[in-house]
Amino acid sequence: MNRKERRAAARGAGSDRGQNRAARAASLAAEGAGLHGQGDLAGAERCYREALKQDPAQAQAAHYLGLLAAQSGRLAEAERLIRKALTQRPRDAEALRNLAKVELAGGKVEAAEGSVRAALAEAPDDGEAAIVLGAVLAAQGRAADAETALRQALELLPGHPEALNHLGGVLLAEGRFGEAAETFQAALSVAPGFGEALINLGETHLAAGEAERAEKLARQALSGGSHPRLLDLLSRALAARGASSEALEAATAAATAAPQDLQLRYNLAVTQQEAGRWPEAEVSYRAVLAQAPDFTAAWANLGALLQKQERLEEAEAALRKALALDPSHREARLNLATGLEQASRLTEAAEEVQRLEELASDHPATRVLAARLDRRAGRIEAAAERLAEVPPADAPAVLREDWLFERGRNLDRLGQYEEAFAAFADANALAVERGAALRGEQDQSRRLIETLQARFTPEWVGGWSPLVAPERAESPIFLVGFPRSGTTLLHHILAGHSQLAVMEEVEALDAARRGLADLPLGFPDCLESLGEAEAEAARRDYWQAVEGAVVRAPGQRLVDKLPLNLMQLGLAQRLWPEAQIIFALRHPCDVCLSAFMQNFDLNDAMANFLTLKDAGSYYDAVMRLHHTYAQTLPLDEMRVRYEDLLEDFEGEVTRLLAFLGLEWEEGVRDFTATAHKRGRINTPSYSQVTEGLYTRARYRWQHYRPQLEPLIEQVGPWATTFGYPAV
């Protein structure tokens, strides 16, 4: 054999070896596909990888190895491998369909649409590709097109559970809860173990306001087992019906069972936030954001949480971060606008509301905030017009309450008193259901009043053990009064004086009470034999609560402004006999009416203002307790009537400063500037105190006299007690 013949023989042998390697690769790919179908993923992967070693162009091995990578969450690797397969078989409908699935999972929605449409061009009757197309269109928010695609898929693949599940998701997103539930149930009748459809059915019940059904579904599915997403569903169902401690337990279990699932960790943070566990919620949100800095909803909720804690600069930064990630995030923008309005940064708030109106001009929350800004700008008729209709029936109850309270305020300003009262009554009627749990056995405020009223007798107080009294300069000044009596106005007047630091609505005195309640005799019985060490421990509890809540310059005295510390004056007198008390007063009918007109954050005390009857009886109980204190204790107290302050501002403030041993300073006059400097004011009076003195709320109750007759009977006698004309 000559040289030329030897070279030809070698080429033939190489070709045979290449053909053998290709055949071996094809065999390995087929073997891997068999193992893959049997669930032996490790064996399948070995076969696919060996096939690609034998033949790097083996399309099926690359394609299916890509599927394995996708199943493990390695989406970038999956996309690379499937694209490699498509370079060999560019018209492979199955590979195109699976590429679309991977792109969709990776958030590449537009690319996924291109891939799945290419798959359908090759195989128009591919029902699975039609399912993927429906999922892609749903992800784009194209609900009608998605529904069409999924119904076509079901014509090709009748009863296909995945198609039914995706269709149910589209119907759920459109608010067609009944149809969605039926569709998810159809998927479950075909595939009873289809966990995704089961969870989606629970989500539908939750969205439809059927928390008990969602809870029952989750509990049945969890019987005998534990699944993180079912635990999460159970948690949210429990939270929806107000079982916050159980909800927190389930959310914690869900996040613990799947620590890598950021959505579950986020849901835990939401549950912690709703349960009032704010420090824990902040930790959870920040843990989520450490792993996913672009998690928009976590930034938005963190901002809302910080806003509630008065950490306004941090809150604004978090909300603006959320909006930088997603300018259309309505809740973040609404919270930012609300915070700006409450901080009286009205121009900026109006700019944010304009952006909200561009997103959804008719959204109830946007309309309420826009009306509030109109009112604060003096555009009362425009404000009233925005809320002239009844609030949308499908809006959350809390939002409908906001709508009605704001509507009532504007009607009151327009002199339409009968209509205004009806709006306030409707708003409070909605809040009654939320407040119900805070009444009855849980009404700690009334029970405390009853206990203190019975205990504070001249004989009991006369038997108190002697204590060394702190000096007046080392004692707080307590600014008290029934809610809506003008304490916020007095706060900002006093905060303008260089020798005073005012602390707003911190339950420091209650912290001292809770410490004393742990003593063997409990509270208030322990006050009789209170020793020096015990009294000093209670004072430490108080000052520890003060620390961080207010900044005091050297020499400044603390003014502790918390209206309903009026009920705690016995404790204040016991711990600080030299303490001075500023007792803010306003006409009893005006006070109770104004409380009825306010959208308070509900607690057991504020729940007493949801009806005028409760407001009147609560006022009577609080004032009777104060009268008892005045009869049994040497209170160093000055009364300041709101109406007198309006009539003779300088005279009344001069008298108040003299009581405190202070000289007049011009800073007390410019209380509106003091209020603006504070930023957000955490009371319902935040908008009024920035206006300056006005008289429209003085004796407002007279406009509502026909509606207030029962209230007048309850609190009328107190009017004469406090120097007002008989009613």
For residues 697, 699, 700, 702, the Cα torsion angle rounded to the nearest 10 degrees is -170
Place of tokens 């203190």: 452
Phi, psi of 428 (to 5 degrees): -70, -30
- According to DSSP, residue 519 is labeled S
Q: Which residue has the higher pLDDT, 19 or 450?
A: 450
Cα–Cα distances in angstroms (integers) from residue 163 to residues 124, 475, 495, in the given order: 16, 71, 65
Place of tokens 């209670």: 538
Q: Is the peptide bond before 588 cis (omega within 30 degrees of 0)?
A: no
Per-residue pLDDT for 442 more than 80? no
Instruction: List, edge to edge, every strand of the sheet that includes 557-561.
Output: 500-504, 557-561, 477-481, 580-585, 636-641
Helix (H) or strand (E) holding 639: strand 636-641
Closest CA to 120 of 152, 155, 96, 151: 96
Strand, helix or coil at 500? strand
Helices (H), 157-227: 161-173, 177-190, 195-207, 211-222
What pLDDT digit, counting tens, does each position of 606-651 carry?
Answer: 888 999 999 999 999 999 999 999 999 999 999 999 999 999 999 9
Give the total residue count for the chain. Answer: 727
The phi-psi region of residue 638 (left if phi > 0; otherwise alpha if psi is between -120 and 50; otherwise beta) is: beta
Residue 604 lies in a domain: yes
Say how many domains are in the chain: 1
The CA distance from 252 to 255, in Å, is: 5
Write the DSSP string, 160-172: -HHHHHHHHHHHH
Residue 446 lies in a domain: yes
- The arithmetic mean of pLDDT across residues 645-658, rounded, is 95
Could you tell me if 664 and 657 are in contact, meaning their C-beta atoms sit under 8 angstroms apart? yes
- The arithmetic mean of pLDDT across residues 238-249, rounded, is 87
Strands 580-585, 500-504: pairing is unpaired
Strand, helix or coil at 637? strand
The CA distance from 504 to 560, in Å, is: 7
Residue 281 lies in a domain: no
Q: Where are the extended beta strands (E) located within 513-614?
A: 557-561, 580-585
What pLDDT digit, counting tens, does each position of 465-476 carry?
Answer: 999 999 999 999
Could you tell me if 66 and 102 are in contact, meaning their C-beta atoms sit under 8 angstroms apart? yes
**What pLDDT is recorded for position 181?**
94
Both tokens of residue 686? 């935040």
Residue 399 lies in a domain: no
Q: Which domain holds residue 477?
A: 440-689
Mean pLDDT of all residues in the chain? 90
Residue 127 lies in a domain: no
**What pLDDT is recorded for position 438?**
54
Residue 545: count of CB within 10 angstroms of its CB: 19
Q: First and final CA of the chain: distance in angstroms? A: 132
Residue 378 lies in a domain: no
Residue 43 lies in a domain: no
Both tokens of residue 290? 């450490």
Closest CA to 210 of 253, 189, 190, 180: 180
For residues 107, 111, 112, 118, the Cα torsion angle rounded to the nearest 10 degrees is 180
What band does 106 get if pLDDT is binned at 50, 70 and 90?
Answer: confident
Cα–Cα distances in angstroms (integers) from residue 110 to residues 78, 100, 107, 170, in the given order: 18, 10, 9, 18
Q: Is the peptide bond before 56 cis (omega within 30 degrees of 0)?
A: no
CATH code at 514? 3.40.50.300
Please give the model's pTM, rounded to 2 decimal places.
Answer: 0.71
Angle at 519 between CA 516 and CA 521, to 5 degrees: 105
Hey, what amino acid is at 368? V
Residue 591 lies in a domain: yes
- For helices 161-173 and 195-207, the axis angle rounded to 10 degrees is 20
Strand, helix or coil at 261? coil
The CA distance from 80 to 82, in Å, is: 6
What pLDDT digit, counting tens, does each position of 582-614 carry?
Answer: 999 999 999 999 999 998 877 778 888 999 999
What pLDDT digit, counting tens, does each position of 292-314 carry?
Answer: 999 999 999 999 999 888 788 99
Could you tell me if 261 and 227 are in contact, meaning their C-beta atoms sit under 8 angstroms apart? no
Helix (H) or strand (E) holding 502: strand 500-504
What pLDDT digit, counting tens, does each position of 14-61 carry?
Answer: 455 667 888 898 898 899 889 988 989 899 889 989 888 989 989 888
